[in-house]
Structure 1
Amino acid sequence: MAQAHVNSDILSWARNRARLSTSVLAEKLHVKEEKLQRWEAGEEKPTFRQAQDFAHHTHIPFGYLFLNTPPADELPIPDLRTIGSHGPLEISLDLRDTVREVLRRQLWYREYQIDQGRDPITVVGSVSPNMSVMSIVENMRSHLGVGRWPDRGRWDTYFNDLLRRIEALGILVMRSSMVGSNTRRILSVKEFRGFAIADGYAPVVFINTSDCPEARLFTLLHELTHIWLGESGVSDGEYGSHRKVEKICNAVAAEFLVPEDEFKQRWNSSEEWRWNVGALASHFHVSQWVSARRAMDLGYIDFEEYQAFISQRLADYKAIERDGAPRYSLLQTLKVSKRLAMAVTSEALSGRILLRDAGQLIGIKPHKLAEYARQELGI
């Protein structure tokens, strides 16, 4: 069979970029590890079919294999995940592909907004990092139309209410636990919890739903603060970041959800701290994860106690038996945001964009778009 004259350096780059060992990739390609090593050493060439399989399993375009040098592979938005003195964290292929997929949808929606004659969304970049935390929180509450905390409901009710209010302002909220619909490419919570794209016409908040549901409320507010500050970036939301913008976003999210003065007033020093965390979570209608984080912020518990607490809650979440996943159409709506889904579907059904293009944007088969619009979106 004809050989593909690929660049052996690109083979090594692509494999390392995909975080695959030679043994694992060789198994996927159904070749001996020694053969793959000879390809990378330039001693042998793969066939065209083997080269195509290689590109598929390393998640790169086939044409990349013939480049003289690896292409620029920068993350399209700032990486704000530097923790303490450890320096920048490695960026996985899963994170890169997720950011690029979200940007593809965001750019479509941006052009749509401009074509519709819409004005820029005023909250994007409306506050300064030099403002006080309280001033930023009050600005956000005012635009969202919420009080200091809800007077009823569970934390997940609060989460869903905030989602509706955020999207009503024109901010897209996208959520997913995997790259595209690939269940073998699960997003890592250890790598990132969310990211924000602070664009004036099409701002986006993305939440990694591999995380424990209780943590997502804090992530939502953290990333939303990025939008208000006009600062795009990937975050892990961890305590202890030395970056100014991350410190501000953490502080704003905490104060928005759990006001310091009320928290301190209601903390009962005669009770064990876990009792307080549960009681205050109920009072503020937030999750115990958020309540525990606030307790750590304010010095009621130390970092080790907090870390052990949330690790246990994440383990408990993963151990829960699911009754079944939500229907696919709902998952796709959550993945792309209802606002984007409605815009794309409306344009497709009115003939202004191809059904094929609409289906690729929101992950719905073209022949099912009308049914999806009726049953899932109510249009």
Structure 2
Amino acid sequence: MPNVNPEILRWARETAGLTLKEASEKLNLGDARGVAGDERLAAYEVGEVEPSRSLLVRMSKQYRRPLLAFYISSVPRTAERGEDFRTLPPEHSRSQDALVDALIRDVRARQEMVRALLEDDDEAVRLPFVGSMSVREGVEAVLQSIRETLDLDLDQYRGRKGRNGGPDGFAYLRAQAEKAGVYVLLIGSLGSHHTSLDVEMFRGFALADEMAPFIVINDQDSEKAWPFTLLHELCHIWLGQTGVSGASGASAVEQFCNDVAGRLLLPRDEVQNIAYLRGRSFDDTVAAINDFAEARNVSRSMVAYRLFRENIIDREMWSGLSALFRMQWRQARDDRRERNRDRDGGPNYYVVRRHRVGEALLGLARRMLAGQALSPSKAAKLLGVKPSNVYSMVSSGPGSPGSLHKAQG
């Protein structure tokens, strides 16, 4: 095994969003012989000292990099995110940014695995809608293409009910997208609450691969915002753009994708039904949006955005409404977490994990496991679970654990 490249050690730490002091604490590098832990780490990073295997293993875990990454010859070019469509404040969290990059690396690895499986099993088909449109063709042309390709019906979206009897338009949109060949995942952390990704840092991610396009939605966001984010990221797929989106998007392409998503969920003629809000008070506007959004199974923030884009309310009113709705959602979420903290039990682990992964990825794992084209260990990486949980994970639907074990036996 070649020597470790010290430049890679520094790069891995910095891209993990850690200072020397923070990293030395996470790596349990304490003071030794009068030398502080951060100074000891700095010595490794300039090549004065060769790190031990056990230290490299700890670095691999804390920096979220494969062990072999420390032996590559030069720092890799930063292109993990594709295009960064986010508008972030200068003081944004470096550690959160590093978590976003770690998530994107994980998603890319899954996508590459899916593509390889499809190609090896002769299931790979080029999806003609990926990169089929451009901003020049206009919002109406892109939304019409998405609507026709996915066979979207607004009445079905609004009438879709979940298991608890409440509206679940997201499940309908996700099913239509996955039927067309797009893998839709819900991921808002890297496995623990310590790695939860703030919506301000990351709302969605699109990987515009022509064989296996992926969309990731931050499930830390309001569930009512998921449909809008899914359609927004689908627009990026149609434009052939791989990249990450945040809560605030001031760029022209983000506004374009927002308009596509907004008009799909709330057509212009319906927005004109509340054009009477032009010039009304803030409180009157809030009350009207509450009723209007509830009846159409859309988020209040999205209604406010559509009102702004149709010049029914001004930017100041829109900003105030967005801030209010975001504050109310956060308060409701915190209250719900507080109530659930004292309750016994909770949702079934596998039900939650399946919902996050989506039926498209689960279905692929079932088929490939049954056909012995996928080992349990690789299926675990694909599904984001431990190998011991794979068969329980894929047990619902076609291909139960028993039948899969039998097929492999």
Under a length normalisation based on structure 2, what TM-score does the superposition of the two structures give? 0.79
Name the structure 2 match of 1:255: 263
What do the CA deviations read for 1:18-66 (whole angstroms, capped 9, x no partner)?
2223443333333336133133045666554344323432223445556
Name the structure 2 match of 1:348: 369
| 1-structure distance, mates of 2:4, 2:113 | 34
Aligned-residue identity in percent? 26
Distance 1:365 1:64, change over 3 A: closer
Retained in 2: the 8 A contact 1:194–1:208? Answer: yes
| 2-structure distance, mates of 1:160, 1:63 | 39
Name the structure 2 match of 1:30: 28
Q: 1:131 Cα shift?
A: 1.9
1:276 to 288, 306, 316: 288
The question of 1:105 aligning with 2:110 is answered: yes
Name the structure 2 match of 1:157: 168
Name the structure 2 match of 1:77: 82
The question of 1:228 aligning with 2:238 is answered: yes
Q: 1:94 Cα shift?
A: 1.4
| 1-structure distance, mates of 2:387, 2:208 | 30
Pairs within 5 Å for 1:142-181: 142-149=148-155, 150=157, 152=159, 156-179=167-190, 181=191
Q: 1:78 Cα shift?
A: 2.0
Name the structure 1 match of 2:13: 15
| 2-structure distance, mates of 1:174, 1:264 | 34
Name the structure 1 match of 2:216: 206
Name the structure 1 match of 2:299: 287
Name the structure 2 match of 1:217: 227
1:184 to 180, 194, 200: 194
Name the structure 1 match of 2:65: 60
Q: 1:329 Cα shift?
A: 2.1
Retained in 1: the 8 A contact 2:367–2:399? Answer: no
| 2-structure distance, mates of 1:182, 1:261 | 44
2:143 to 126, 133, 137: 137
Name the structure 1 match of 2:350: 329
Q: 1:175 Cα shift?
A: 0.9
Please, which moves more after superposition, 166-175 or 311-320? 311-320
| 2-structure distance, mates of 1:362, 1:158 | 24
Gaps of 5+ in 1: none
Q: 1:232 Cα shift?
A: 1.9
| 2-structure distance, mates of 1:113, 1:45 | 42
| 2-structure distance, mates of 1:9, 1:117 | 41
Please, which moves more after superposition, 115-124 or 40-49? 40-49
Retained in 1: the 8 A contact 2:81–2:242? Answer: no
Counterpart residue identity of residue 199, structure 2: V
| 1-structure distance, mates of 2:186, 2:285 | 32
Please, which moves more after superposition, 317-326 or 256-265? 317-326
Name the structure 2 match of 1:93: 98
Q: 1:204 Cα shift?
A: 1.3
Under a length normalisation based on structure 1, what TM-score does the superposition of the two structures give? 0.84
Cα RMSD, aligned residues only: 3.2
Name the structure 1 match of 2:404: none
| 2-structure distance, mates of 1:247, 1:229 | 13
Counterpart residue identity of residue 145, structure 2: N
Q: 1:260 Cα shift?
A: 2.1
SS of the equivalent of 1:196 reads strand
Please, which moves more after superposition, 336-345 or 365-374? 365-374
